[in-house]
Amino acid sequence: MSLLAVGISHQTAPVSLLEQFAMGTDDTVKALHELVGTDHVSEAMVLATCNRVEVFAEVDRFHGGVTEVSRVLARQAGATVEELSPYVTVHYEDQAVAHLFTVAAGLDSMVVGETQVLGQLRNAYALAREQGTVGRALHPVAQHALRVGKRVHSETGIDKAGASLVSVSLDHAEERIGPLAGRPVLVVGAGSMGALAAATLSRRGAQVTVASRTAESAARLAAAVDGSTADLDDLPAAIAAADLLLTCTGATGLVIGTEAVASAMRGRAGRPLAVVDLALPRDVDPAVAGLPGVHVVDLALLQGERTALLHDEAGGQPGSLAGAVAADDVAAAHALIEAETALLRAERQAAAVAPTVSALRSQAAEVVDAELLRLSTRLPDLDARARSEITRTVRRVVDKLLHEPTVRVKELASTPGGVDYADALRELFGLGIDTDVPAGGGRLAEAVSVDPDDLRPGGAA
């Protein structure tokens, strides 16, 4: 069994494609059970955020696992694996572990160093545990990733510049309309992102109004930030009263159309309006950006800025995206991740050879028992004391013969290629072999060689 990570994120795909992967809790639960119901996936965890959908799975076959996970992702996006392959990344074993740790630390986020993804990973793990789709393999990996994420933020300087997506978006909004302190802000959506947005806005001194499909949720969030509530049925009036509209619902279609914003603008006497859309798929009609006096900040804008930042840094120019992290802090975070990846590798490899050691000792015990039984039938008159001494001697000899190879295979398991020694031990003693180990990871099209027609949703296995 081996760890596999297959996913799509802002690093490889445009926001327009990420929108097709938007997953609510029910969608995630369905995907989890679909994954573990396949032939090659035994455990699975799905991390679905506004910037990524990634599956971390324990599989018994690399190519079979990639194929099955890819099919589930393709069905979720309403596409074919062939269409998605340029954007999907595949990581295997150590690379999968390092990738998960990097994600948990916020180093793979649109805003490097942000902490929100750590909470999202914690929720993804909790949901997988609740659904029974994580077991002995993924439990320690997920728990280790959460610890690594905390360590990176507490032991490196990444938090000095790291910021959440909400904070960066609000920085952009303030550049357009000025400081938010004392200004009216409408938050549409009372989920986890809405709660983070409301809390961040409150800390900046804004007057927060919350609107949600569930009145109770809106009231609870508004009370937490000393704010008020608004009715979704009267959005134009609520928008007209606000200087900033921040929306982050879990809806699958547009929530705020162009006419609603245009109607609100007619009653604002020329006051500009900042619109921050952090939903995936987007809540606000893209045409809203064309209205006079409206300034839109969305995930596509932030993704474009991050791409430009990386391009500037590659060319030796200073980046400009808010939340950029000093190179030394990033290097320290990566060094910690590398050390933790090696530590987990040693733990996983030690666990991987344990069944071999157990099987070898069980086989030896069976041989000893069979030979002692044979001896008792051939020498039925052997007295009890002699029989007991012979039994102890034979078992002691076998234990001494097995001691060195079993101790050494455990020690060697923590070294590169150490599991190969366990494979050799299983082959030499006829304990059975089960391997399917490719190397490395990368894009889907490079990592798995199969006929794309066979990977279409509903196609041949």
Q: Which of 50, 57, 88, 138 is catalytic?
A: 50
Who contacts 210 (Cβ-Cβ below 8 Å, separation ≥6)?
Answer: 186, 187, 188, 190, 194, 198, 218, 219, 221, 222, 225, 227, 228, 229, 230
DSSP 451: -
Q: What are phi and psi of 147, to 5 degrees?
A: -65, -40
Q: What are phi and psi of 80, to 5 degrees?
A: -105, 160
H or E element that contains 40: none
248 is catalytic: no
**C-alpha distances out from residue 37 to 8, 24, 41, 118, 214, Å:** 22, 20, 7, 27, 34
Joined together, the tokens standing for residue 402 give 């097995």
The SS3 call for residue 322 is coil
The SS3 call for residue 248 is coil
Q: How many CB atoms lie within 10 A of CB 392?
A: 10
Provide the pairing of β-strand 294-298 with 228-229. Answer: unpaired
Give CA 208 to chain center in angstroms: 31
Question: Could you give the CA distance from residue 121 to residue 290 in angstroms, rounded to a whole number?
Answer: 36
**C-alpha distances out from residue 199 to 160, 185, 192, 203, 223, Å:** 20, 12, 11, 6, 11
CA dihedral 321, 322, 326, 330 (to 10 degrees): -80
Q: Give the chain's length.
A: 461
Question: Could you give the CA distance from residue 92 to residue 64 in angstroms, rounded to a whole number?
Answer: 13
Asked if 53 contacts 151 with a C-beta cutoff of 8 angstroms, the reply is no
Question: Could you give the CA distance from residue 255 to residue 260 in angstroms, rounded to a whole number?
Answer: 10
The C-alpha angle 175, 179, 184, rounded to 5 degrees, equals 115
Residues belonging to the active site = 50
